[in-house]
Amino acid sequence: MPNKTDKDLALLKTILWIYIILCFVLAGLNYGYVKSAPEAVGKAITWFWHFYENWIKTAFIIAASILTLRITKQSKRTTMRRKNLRGFIIAALFVHILSPLLINNNELYFFAMPLPWTTTPLQLLVEGSSFYTSRFPLWGAAGITAAMIFYAVISAIILIGTLLFGRRWQCSTVCLFNGFASEVFAPAFPLIGKKKKIQPKTTSLLMLLKWAMFALAIFFTGYWILLLSGVQTLENYNLIGKIEIYKYLSAELLMMMFFWIVFVGRGYCYYCPLGTVLGFISKLSGQKIITNLTKCINCGACNSACPMAIDLQSKAMKGEPVTSLRCVGCGHCVDACKTKNLSYTTTFLSKLSSK
Ligand code: SF4
Ligand code: SF4
């Protein structure tokens, strides 16, 4: 007879399946069919897409966080995980519920990640771009200004937060793309097949992809900035905007879902352009995993727990800090260590704790 944990896990996997299927179906209809659909049908699809993105997604984040905590606390410490899940719930309530209600705009989640993740906010400043042309009749000048203020506030929160708390702030607390998915559904991976560890060869390939995606992101960002500043005169911006949408749907949304199912939850985080930038900012913040709080017993639990395939064990054996650019600060290694040898910190956090 299935015990309580098995039932929770089955429910968590079901929610994740529904989330993925709804995402594919609604994104497909929204981006592929709405323009050619009869007006009423198109409006209904777009309404449901927003309802899904804001209300259903937030409900899933809350329900899945509760299930994940119930499942993981049976066998592990969950100190860091609890903090992550609390952060994602607050971020979802703020971005997907509270702000849309206050600003009367259901699409604010387009603006929840700073540059260079998406150039949508820059496109909104180019009169004549297809994004501006489609949104101006709906939002008006005041609505566009409100969306840009929202974007500036979110970007400032993420940048200042990362300088103080490291990449953990965005990637394990606030990110409503791959960050939340990999944390709130963590015990449900992989949905198909057995759990696989990402091999060093795959990690190297993902690192190549990371730099390719970063170069692309910089190219698109540079294009819109030059256009806005009047330096760029090539006004083929609607084609560029279209290419960006296809890049998002294929290399980002689809691949992220693919990695959720086949590998581990953090597949996309290996090559996310925003993650790459935040990795460098987290260096400035002094982010590291301290490894010499007690004694390492060489069990390898930290390496097994790390979703970013970082080798903590060899550093822990020598008592050296782990300062990988890939570290998303999830703290799974900290929770997994049986001897409580590990701790996540930044310069600001160390100063806080020494007071
Ligand atoms: S790497 Fe990108 S997708 Fe992953 S958690 Fe960070 S910001 Fe989000
Ligand atoms: S090193 Fe620890 S905190 Fe960093 S990604 Fe791996 S498990 Fe998460």
Q: pLDDT value at position 233? A: 65
When mean pLDDT is compared across 156-170, 256-270, 283-297, the lowest value belongs to: 256-270
> Is 42's pLDDT higher than 70?
yes
According to DSSP, the residues that pair with 343 across neighbouring strands are 290
Q: How large is the average pLDDT for residues 143-153? A: 95
Average pLDDT, the chain: 91
Ligand nearest to the CA of 271: 1
Cβ neighbours of 243 (radius 10 Å)? 13
- Residue 223 CA to ligand 2 center (angstroms) comes to 34
Q: How large is the average pLDDT for residues 234-262? A: 80
Q: pLDDT value at position 91? A: 97
In a 3-state reduction of DSSP, which class is residue 160?
Answer: helix
> Is 194's pLDDT higher than 90?
no
Give dist(CA 99, CA 58) in Å, integer: 13
Q: How large is the average pLDDT for residues 312-332? A: 96
Cβ neighbours of 133 (radius 10 Å)? 12
Taking the CA of residue 330 as reference, the ligand 2 atom at the shortest distance is: 8
- The ligand 2 site (C-beta within 6 Å) comprises 289, 305-306, 308, 310, 312, 322, 327-333, 344
HSE-up of 235 (CA within 13 Å, CB side)? 6
| Tokens encoding 146 | 């409100």
| Tokens encoding 139 | 């939002």
Question: Nearest-CA neighbor of 24 among 178, 253, 185, 245?
Answer: 253
- Residue 327 CA to ligand 2 center (angstroms) comes to 5
- The ligand 1 site (C-beta within 6 Å) comprises 170-171, 175, 177-179, 268-269, 272, 274-275, 328
- 288 close to 322: Cβ distance less than 8 angstroms: yes
Whole-number percent of the chain with pLDDT over 70: 98
Grade residue 294 by pLDDT with cuts at 50, 70 and 90: confident
Give dist(CA 314, CA 322) in Å, integer: 10
From start to end of 299-338, where are the E strands?
Answer: none
Taking the CA of residue 80 as reference, the ligand 2 atom at the shortest distance is: 3
SS3 content of the chain, % helix, strand, coil (to 5): 70, 0, 30
> Which of left, alpha, beta for 329 (phi over 0: left; psi -120 to 50: alpha)?
left
> Is 222's pLDDT higher than 70?
yes
> Is 199's pLDDT higher than 90?
no
Q: pLDDT value at position 237? A: 79
| Residue 161 neighbours by CB under 8 Å, 6+ apart | 169, 170, 173, 174
Taking the CA of residue 175 as reference, the ligand 1 atom at the shortest distance is: 8
Residue nearest to atom 6 of ligand 2 (CA): 306
Ligand nearest to the CA of 269: 1
Ligand nearest to the CA of 114: 1
- Residue 328 CA to ligand 1 center (angstroms) comes to 8
Is the whole model's pTM more than 0.85, yes or no? yes
All domains of the chain in start order, with CATH: 4-280 (no CATH), 286-350 (3.30.70.3270)
**Pocket mutation for ligand 2, best pick of 79, 178, 264, 312 (most atoms within 8 Å of C-beta):** 312
Residue nearest to atom 8 of ligand 2 (CA): 330
Ligand nearest to the CA of 287: 2
- Residue 112 CA to ligand 1 center (angstroms) comes to 12
* Neighbour-count burial of 298, counting CB atoms closer than 10 A to its CB (0-12 exposed, 13-18 middle, 19+ buried): exposed
Give dist(CA 259, CA 269) in Å, integer: 10
- Residue 15 CA to ligand 2 center (angstroms) comes to 26
